[in-house]
Structure 1
Amino acid sequence: MSRVPRFAMKRPSLERFRRQLASVDAMPQLCILGILAGILTGSVMVAFRLLLNFGALFFMPDADPEAFESLSPFLRAALPLAAVALIGFWLWPQPGRAAKMGISHVIERLAYQQGKMPLRNWVNQWWVGIVSVLGGLSAGREGPAIHLGSAASSWIGTRLRLPHNSLRVLVACGTAAGIAASFNTPIAGVIFAMEVVMMEYTIAGFMPVILASTMGALVSWTVYGAEPAFSVPPLHLDSLMDLPGIVVTALVVGLLAGGFVRLSQGHSAVTRLPFALRLGVIGLLTAAVAWWYPEVQGIGYDSIDRMLNGSVALDVLLVLAVGKLALTAICIAGGVPVGIIGPMLVSGAAVGALMGVIGGSLLPSVTTAPDLYAVLGMAAMMAAALQAPLAALLALLELTRNTEIVLPGMLAVVVAVMTARQLCRCQGFFLSSLAQQGLHPLQQPLMQALSRVAVPAVMERNLVRTPRVIDQERAKALLDSKPTWLVITQDDKEKPPLAMKAAHLARVLHDEAWLAEHEQIDLEEVPGQRLDLAPVHLEATLSEAYDTLTESGVDALYVEHTTAPMIRRISGIITREAIENYYRRKR
């Protein structure tokens, strides 16, 4: 009686999961990570907002972290001074690299450290993010949210010792989920992550980021509801005669965005000042403006609500349009890494509302209500300052939930981006900030492609280790498993191993004349090519392997990983030729 074959599923294992993630096509595995990253980032963002509300309990009316207008002039002016003192007290004993926070830090770590995030910077971000917002500095919560979410997501990969190519995707997942949880705009979160942070679009990258953004938004919805960060009334373009006014508004926004980026970079005379003095200047300037105009303090979403659903005095609009943007830039230039997205949106809305009021007074029969211009100003400012037009357009669409506004939004975004880029020579806030430090996150196409895959996907696993000198019987035994490579360990432990094709040893074992002269086989004397090797970790990406090959001047690497404390095992060989052939196949 014939037996029916049984199909047994392979038992899941973390090692197999890591090996699958090493490939560029590991979409199901990356999607699992995207879900985990989205849930974790959404939870971190909720915790951050709850901490803001908890801190507001002690001195803010109705425990509202944005109710600075209800405070006395003395208290609201004292808050920025206390905030810079607390931030300085916290950061002063630490090295300068520990003060790197926010989205710029995320992009830098993604470009040059494969997405690994330092714990100290993550802890500092909690402190600086909460103190800067509650302390009345012109600061947003989105920058801290992206840093905290990206680092938490990266921690998943680091904890599980996943390949570095998956860490990059996890960082993008944390970024998208942070934006989604903050604004309730999951689509904009996805595009922001790909356009601003990852700076590339791939199908394998999109899918887990979409899932992460969705989960981040869902976690936020369970606590704060599904409404956007601020309420937007129904808007539409009444007449095409509004288009010239929209173009002029976008021109002004583009110029202000370029000025913001330039001012935030700081002059060398400012950066050479002692840190304490810079903090003092930031605190005093913010306190002076806040004495008269508390609207410049904090995130400012309450001001956007008033601009869109009520009326705001012209002098307040002017201060929000210029003053809030300048105070945010001064904080950045002075070394306080505050979030910039919230203040940019407030400033853009104020510019738009101001231009709408002016246009309405000059041409009352042509210009639409200022609230339309305010919404377009927000999108234009975000697009111009970050050089991220697509993310700004999708944020506009999700915040308004109105497709009729897309056409004027596209016009405003394009004009503002071109103005900032061409007239102000603005590359975008994050690119300019990193270029100022001698860093540039844009990689060459080769390195960008190689960052998407880890060495286990390309390395040759069929190898055996052997000492340099062996007898003929040992040599024949080595070839029984039909290896591709022989890894020759040196007598001197300080010297790196060598690699030789097993075919060279097989050839001499068939040469009786050569064997008669060599009772002991010295593998360094066997005719054939031997490659000097340098180590690379199993979790490394192909771009890291390529850099290691270039820096060490060798033609091959041995891939090692730790199997137990102080015990390392060679898992494979990867050659320069293998990396280049992989790139050619994937082009």
Structure 2
Amino acid sequence: RGFIPIILASVSGAIVSRAVFGHETAFDVPALNLTSLWEVPYIMLLGVVAGLVATGYIYLVKLLQRLGHLPLVLRWGGLTIATLAISWWLPEILGIGYDTVNDALNGKVVFTTLLLLLLAKMFLSGWAAAVSFPAGLIGPVLFIGAALGGLMGQLSVWLVPDYPLSIGFYTMLGMGAMMGAVLRAPLAALVALLELTANPNIIMPGMLSVVIASLVVSEVFRLPSVFQVQLGGNAQYQAPSPVRQMLRNTWVAQAMQTSVVEVQRKVGREAAGFILQRDPSWLLIAGEDTLIRPAAIAEALETDPDAETIDLFTIPADRQAAARISLKANLQDALDQMQSHQLQWLIVYRDERRHQFAGIVSREDIESYYQYRPAQGA
């Protein structure tokens, strides 16, 4: 239920983007290839360095969040003044920075400039993320990764001047490694690498650098993603438990009871006999949102054999109040509604306006469903 809408949105966005802007990519990516397996240790080093830089970036966001108590005009105004001052000397930090990234991919930015751009972009982007300035994260992180990869690429050329190394290759790996480590989204970073290069040969070195950078952040320094840092650990945004996730992805119909008969409040003796012959598990009193056991009707017929009609609200019975829920809801929706109304039962409708009754579901039905599923999967 969550994956399909994301795929449809991505495809729709790609179609509209290409229809409006054409098929040209955002970055001018040169031909990238792993020349030799001897580069693997250096790629691993790139992953470690990217992990350290990503760690510093996340710590910087946490540190600058102390400015959160200041008025908005000071938080955003100070960021604006700092951006103006730094961009006077380094105008490349302004905007998304596609031109600078393209130059870094082609090895056209000198080492010192790349280092200054990396530090400046880290500082300003971290400040913006800390004070909730609407500047985005993915673009700046890719910029920082490109600067880092460009630095590592130029350093490799200096270390091994006779070896045919590609600065653009390490620039692209730096972009993926930073994105995966800062956002804690390694799979998204690998997909981005593949989309940007249209070269499947980038996947193996990309996996190595992205995974190592992500492990440095998550396992060595035990840091969450920058998104969780921005949210301040708010429990409302914590990842759901496996059970909760499973309930969200399960339609209410899968735990619903259908052996239920909808009846009027007053039932004739003959109609009551037909109802009992169908052997339902529950009876739903129409328009009352109340459930009653069929055994109560059988007892009423035996107790008063001369009664022509039976009032289901006056006979002795165990009645259960219920609320309504749509057939399109999931099991977590059902549990939340039961909790909010302090109920054990819900009546499931295909269309509440037309009173198209589908079945009922109880808290016990839902608990039995998710307790049985792990055993079934095992």
Identify the range of structure 1 (218-227 vs 287-296) with the bigger mean alpha-carbon deviation. 218-227
Q: Equivalent residue of 1:439, what SS?
A: helix
Query: 2 CA distance for matches of 1:504 and 1:559?
Result: 23
Query: Deviation at 1:216?
Result: 3.8
Q: Distance in 2 between matches of 1:391 and 1:237?
A: 21
Q: Distance in 1 between matches of 2:227 and 2:359?
A: 38
Give the alignment of 1:348-359 within 5 angstroms. Answer: 348-359=145-156
Whichever of the two has the greater Rg, that structure is 2
Distance 2:104 2:59 in 1: 27
Give the match's secondary structure for 1:508: helix
Structure 1 pair 273–388 and aligned structure 2 pair: CA distance change class (3 A): same
Q: 1:374 matched to which residue of 2?
A: 171
Larger deviation, residues 529-538 vs 273-282: 529-538
Give the gaps of 5 or more residues in structure 1.
Answer: 1-165, 178-212, 491-495
What amino acid maps onto 1:388 in structure 2?
A
Aligned to 2:91: 294
| Number of the residue aligned with 1:508 | 299
CA contact (8 A) 1:557 1:573 kept: yes
Question: Which residue in 2 is equivalent to 1:559?
Answer: 348
| Cα deviation, residue 499, structure 1 | 1.1
CA contact (8 A) 1:560 1:570 kept: yes
The residue type paired with residue 450 of structure 1 is L
1:124 equivalent in structure 2: none
Matched, 1:574 2:346: no
1:463 matched to 2:278: no
Following superposition, the deviation at residue 399 of structure 1 comes to 1.9
Letter paired with 2:264? T
* In the alignment, structure 1 residue 231 sits paired with structure 2 residue 28: yes
**1:414 partnered with 2:211:** yes
Work out whether 1:548 is the aligned partner of 2:319.
Answer: no
Name which of 242, 249, 266 aligns with 2:39. 242
How many percent of aligned residue pairs carry the same amino acid?
35
Tell me the residue number matched to 1:66.
none
Provide the rounded CA distance (Å) in 1 between the counterparts of 2:309 and 2:64: 70
> Contact between 2:261 and 2:280, CA under 8 Å: does it hold in 1?
yes
| 2:109 match: secondary structure | coil
CA contact (8 A) 1:242 1:367 kept: no
Judged with a 3 Å threshold, the aligned counterparts in structure 2 of structure 1 residues 518 and 272 are, in CA distance, closer, same or farther, namely farther
1:509 Cα deviation from its structure 2 partner: 5.5
How do 1:120-139 residues align onto structure 2 when only pairs under 5 Å count? none
CA 1:228–1:518 in 2, change beyond 3 Å: closer, same or farther?
same
Q: Counterpart of 2:198?
A: 401
Matched, 1:444 2:241: yes
Cα deviation code 1:510-539 (max 9, x no counterpart): 52xx12487764535656543232343444
CA apart distance, 1:311: 0.7
Q: 1:235 to 1:273 in 2, by over 3 A?
A: same
Over 3 Å counting, the alpha-carbon distance change for 1:270 and 1:465 in structure 2 is: farther
Mind listing any 5+ residue stretches in structure 2 that lack a counterpart? none
Post-superposition offset of 1:471:
5.9
Cα distance in 2 for residues equivalent to 1:504 and 1:435? 55
TM-superposed deviation, 1:305: 0.9
Asked if 1:485 is matched to 2:274, the reply is no
CA contact (8 A) 1:259 1:424 kept: no
The 3 A distance-change label for structure 1 pair 518 and 338 is: farther
Q: How does 1:153-552 map to 2 (within 5 A)?
A: 166=1, 168-169=2-3, 171-173=5-7, 177=10, 213=11, 215-265=12-62, 269-366=66-163, 368-434=165-231, 436-460=233-257, 462-467=260-265, 472=269, 475-476=272-273, 484-488=281-285, 497-501=289-293, 503-508=294-299, 511=302, 514-516=303-305, 521-523=310-312, 526=315, 529-552=318-341
Instruction: Give the whole-Å Cα distance in 2 for the aligned partners of 1:345 and 1:535.
Output: 48
Equivalents in 2 of 1:547, 1:443: separation in Å?
A: 14
- 1:283 Cα deviation from its structure 2 partner: 1.0
Query: Aligned pair in 2 of structure 1 residues 351, 489: CA closer, same or farther (>3 Å)?
Result: same
Q: What amino acid does structure 2 have at the position aligned with 1:532?
A: A
Q: Secondary structure at the match of 1:298?
A: coil
Could you tell me how far 1:400 is from its partner in structure 2?
1.8
- Quote the Cα distance in structure 2 between the aligned partners of 1:343 and 1:438: 27
How big is the shift at 1:473? Answer: 5.8
Closer/same/farther in 2, CA of residues 305 and 424 from structure 1, 3 Å limit: same
TM-score, normalised on structure 2?
0.85
For 2:236, what is the secondary structure of its paired residue?
coil
Deviation string for 1:293-319 (max 9, x for gaps)?
A: 111111112211111124112233113
Contact (CA 8 Å) 1:560, 1:572: kept in 2 or not?
yes
RMSD: 3.2
Whether the aligned pair in 1 keeps the contact of 2:129 and 2:230 (CA below 8 Å) is: no
Distance 1:367 1:426, change over 3 A: farther
Indicate if the aligned counterparts of 1:258 and 1:424 stay in contact, CA closer than 8 A.
yes
CA gap 1:580/1:393 in 2 versus in 1, 3 angstroms: same
- Preserved contact between residue 348 and residue 358 of structure 2 (Cα < 8 Å): yes
Q: TM-score, normalised by structure 1?
A: 0.57
In 1, Cα distance between the equivalents of 2:107 and 2:159? 21
What do residues 163-203 of structure 1 show as CA deviations (whole Å, max 9, x unaligned)?
Answer: xxx5x34642355x1xxxxxxxxxxxxxxxxxxxxxxxxxx
